[in-house]
Amino acid sequence: MRILVVGAGGVGSAIAAVAAGRDFVRHMTLADINESQARSTVDRLNDKRFAAATLDASDRAAVAAMAKDLRADAVVNACDPRFNPPIFDAAFDAGCSYLDMAMTLSEPHPDKPHEATGVVLGQYQFDASEKWKERGLLCLAGIGVEPGLSDVFARYAADHLFESIDEIGVRDGANLTIEGYDFAPTFSIWTTIEECLNPPVLWERDRGWFTTEPFSEPETFEFPEGIGPIECVNVEHEEVLLIPRWVDCNRVTFKYGLGDAFINVLKTISMLGLDSTEPVSVRGAKVSPRDVIAATLPDPAKLGDRMHGKTCAGTWVRGTGTDGRPREVYLYHVVDNDECMATYGSQAVLLQTALNPVVALELIDSGVWKGTGVLGPEAFDAAPFLELLATYGHRHGIEERTAN
Average pLDDT over residues 351-357: 97
Residue 281: phi and psi, rounded to 5, are -90, 125
**For the chain, what is the mean pLDDT?**
95
DSSP letter assigned to residue 325: S
Enumerate the β-bridge partners of residue 141.
none
Answer left, alpha or beta for residue 157, where phi above 0 means left and psi between -120 and 50 means alpha. alpha
SS3 labels along 267-280: HHHHHCCCCCCCCE
Q: Answer for the pair 20, 30: CB distance below 8 angstroms, yes or no.
A: no
369 vs 377: CA distance, rounded Å: 10
pLDDT of residue 149: 98
- Give CA–CA dist 332/207, Å, rounded: 28
How do the residues of the chain divide into helix, strand and coil, expressed in percent and rounded to 5?
35, 30, 35
Rounded-to-integer distance, Cα 341 and Cα 363, Å: 26
30 sits in the region (left: phi over 0; alpha: psi -120 to 50; else beta) called beta
Q: How confident is the model at residue 260 (pLDDT cuts 50, 70, 90)?
A: confident
Q: Which secondary-structure segment (H or E) carries 10?
A: helix 10-19
For domain 149-348+395-401, give the CATH number. Answer: 3.30.360.10
- Residue-level pLDDT at 329: 98
Cα dihedral 130, 131, 134, 137 sign:
negative
Say if residue 404's pLDDT is above 70.
no
What number of CA atoms fall less than 13 Å from residue 47's CA on the CB side? Answer: 20
Fold classification of 2-100 (topology level): Rossmann fold (3.40.50)
- Cis peptide leading into residue 147 (ω within 30°): yes
**Terminal-residue alpha carbon distance, the chain:** 47
CATH 3.30.360.10 domain range(s) in the chain: 149-348+395-401
Q: How far apart are the C-alpha atoms of 362 and 308, rounded to whole Å?
A: 30
* % of the chain residues with pLDDT over 70: 100
CB 340 within 8 A of CB 351: yes
Instruction: Give me the pLDDT at residue 41, please.
Output: 96
Pairing verdict, β 219-223 and 74-77: unpaired
Q: Nearest to residue 137, comparing CAs of 366, 370, 309?
A: 370
pLDDT of residue 303: 87
What pLDDT is recorded for position 189? 84
Task: Please tell me the distance from the alpha carbon of residue 124 to that of residue 108, in angstroms, as a whole number.
Answer: 14
Using an 8 Å Cβ cutoff, are 32 and 12 in contact?
Answer: yes
Residue 172 DSSP SS3: strand
- SS3 state at 211: strand
Using 50, 70 and 90 to split pLDDT, how confident is the model at 107? Answer: very high
* 306-333 pLDDT per residue, tens: 999 999 999 999 999 999 999 999 999 9
pTM for this predicted structure: 0.95
Summarised one tens digit per residue, pLDDT across range 209-254 is: 999 999 999 999 999 999 999 999 999 999 999 999 999 999 999 9
- Span(s) in the chain for CATH 3.40.50.720: 2-100
